[in-house]
Structure 1
Amino acid sequence: MATNLTVEKRNTEKRSFLTELRNKGHVPANLYGYGTKSVALSVDEPEFIKAYREVGRNGVLKLKVDGKDYSVMVQEMQVHPLKNAVTHIDFIAIDLNKETEAEVPVVLTGDSVGVKEGGVLQRVHATVNVKALPSDFPEQLEASVEDLNIGDSLYVKDLPTGSKYEILHEEDEVIASVVPPKLQDEETDPETEEADEAGDAPESSESVADDGQEGQEDEKKDE
């Protein structure tokens, strides 16, 4: 069941209105998609956060705009990096009977054997693209990395599958890998070694010849 969220249309004529909006604890937002034109909205931030936590990242919200209901998902949410406050929201109106695409988080569980031996776990994908009906999106996809040794990888084919959703990636695409630790003492660059050897080498015959010629000229001057 979708969670209700009442919003208001907002004024887009004055840029200063956005500052006033945020000072009052509201967030500027936009609604677009199925069955609607783009609409500028104002959302109460505490109410939005409460509703968002109830339905989850890919959950369905029932947005009430001027007495009309829209089934929506959060397409994008911008958060201030320092204040941890929501600064803008994009809502996309959806058809509940039509499949759509969304990003689903990948959660890695367990302690890798390779990491215990000194390896480093590197993540390639924190999320994967999934296709499903709006009500059938998994909240997250969990996969264990316990059996990964150094040099092993976790692939898309290792993620849990379901009959109600489709992962839109190739099966052999890497999700995470356990790589060897970096060497503490890196080997000297061969080019650097060559440069050092060149610095210790005797002068070239050309330079020696030039020095000899200059010496002869100095002797003639002394005479």
Structure 2
Amino acid sequence: MLITTHQYLDKYPVPPNSKILILGTIHPHFHEEFKVPFFYGNEISIWKIFSEAFPGELTDPANLDHITRFLGNRELAISDTIISCKRLSPTALDKDLEIIEDNRKSLLKTLATSEILEVICTSGFGKNNAFKIFYSQILGLPITTEIRKKREAIVIIPGTDKKILVRAIYSPARTALTGIANSQGYKAVKQKMSVTQYRVSLYRSIFESERFSD
């Protein structure tokens, strides 16, 4: 059984002036083999999507300096919900994880003291998905049918009166494409674009402007 400890949480803390936090689970185990030593560095999946969505802003999705500059220019931050975990099999799938320690202490402090107003989770409501861990395990809130349908909720950070929008987007992983292809949203436009193009268009629409309002 593999035990994975997060390599990037301490090295890349959330900048306090960030407005949006991209939140995942934990990187795959064999980080020495990553294309980029950073979040989503194994297949640079999310960075490829951002590069396609905003080609003038992220010109090289395999370059760490370009990635961090892109994040800073857009006031985006990135973090994960898990500090360490056991892997029940040597895959990168969330369902094969057993959480040892979550990242609640750092995340709650960061959200309380930073300028972040929106948390965008890169996986939804399945076993060990980012939204589920953050919303249910870290915030201790129930995921209702309405939240599953809307894929978002407004919450108050514990110990504060600060409201943030928490939402789930489709995972940047290749394994998510099958589910996206079966979604009602994609079926409505499948004659116009591929599944990959549809996901890029969703990321573009989500990240191109601030969506949070009181």
Q: Larger relative CO (CA 8 A, sep 6+): 1 or 2?
A: 2
TM-score over 0.5 (shorter chain): no
Which interval holds the TM-score relative to the shorter structure?
Answer: under 0.3
**Structure richer in helix, relative to its length:** 2
Q: Which has the larger radius of gyration?
A: 1
